[in-house]
A = this chain, B = another copy of it.
Amino acid sequence: MSVTDRRLTRRGEATRARIVETAAGLIYAHGVARTNNEAVRSAAGVSGSQLSHYFPDKESLLRAVLRWRADAMMGLHQTPPQGPPDSIAALRSWADSNLTDETVRDGGCSFGSLAAEVMKSGLDLNDEIAGGFDRWKAQLREGLTAMRAAGVLRPDADLEHLAYVLMAAFQGGMLLSQGARDVTPLRNALYGAIAYVETFGNA
């Protein structure tokens, strides 16, 4: 994992972070294959030497981007100020906040579409992808657990199952919506998944 874990001064860490964020943005917009070192370099305002200093090869940079994206996803997928969606209403507002035209047209799920491309790239980054999805699942389960504790969901509701359903609806909906350049598929997928969660409710 690069030179990272060595002694990095505050300045060094800032530069490294700037590189990662810049790369993440470019990759989101244009994909991995069409994002080369030079583009990252110039967009981040960094010389080539620095890029290869922090990230000796493309795989190490991609690993950092993947992790950064996963972190960002954790922050993104929570509607209540603190923590993941913990009520049907919160789930709905979570869904709606992702039903924007920009999200759909600009590249889908910032983590999922990247993961899809990386998985086909032959690079050894599957652990990072699996880890990201796992963390996301854990966060969703957290919210679902709160819902069950609050009596919104029945005690016998399978939270792991519901978390999978929500994630798949999100990722699949994003893919379909990207293809159709229209939020309709994503909306249907998310609303359907949430309605399914509701069938495990105490209503």
Using a CB–CB cutoff of 8 Å, the interface residues on chain A facing chain B are 30-34, 107-108, 112-113, 115-117, 119-122, 126, 129-130, 132-134, 160-162, 164-165, 167-176, 178-181, 184-186, 188-189, 191-193, 195-196, 199
If A133-B180, A165-B192, A192-B164 touch, whether A34 touches B185 (CB-CB below 8 Å) is no
The docked-state distance in angstroms from the alpha carbon of A126 to that of B129 is: 26
Number of copies: 2
Q: Which residue of B lies closest to A118 (CB)?
A: B179
Contact residue among B33, B126, B168 (Cβ-Cβ distance under 8 Å from A121): B33
Whether B179 contacts A115 by the Cβ 8 Å rule is yes
20 more A-B residue pairs beyond the given contacts A119-B179, A133-B180, with a C-beta to C-beta distance below 8 A: A30-B120, A33-B120, A33-B121, A113-B120, A116-B175, A117-B120, A126-B181, A130-B181, A165-B189, A167-B172, A167-B176, A168-B173, A168-B186, A168-B188, A168-B192, A169-B189, A171-B171, A172-B172, A195-B196, A199-B199
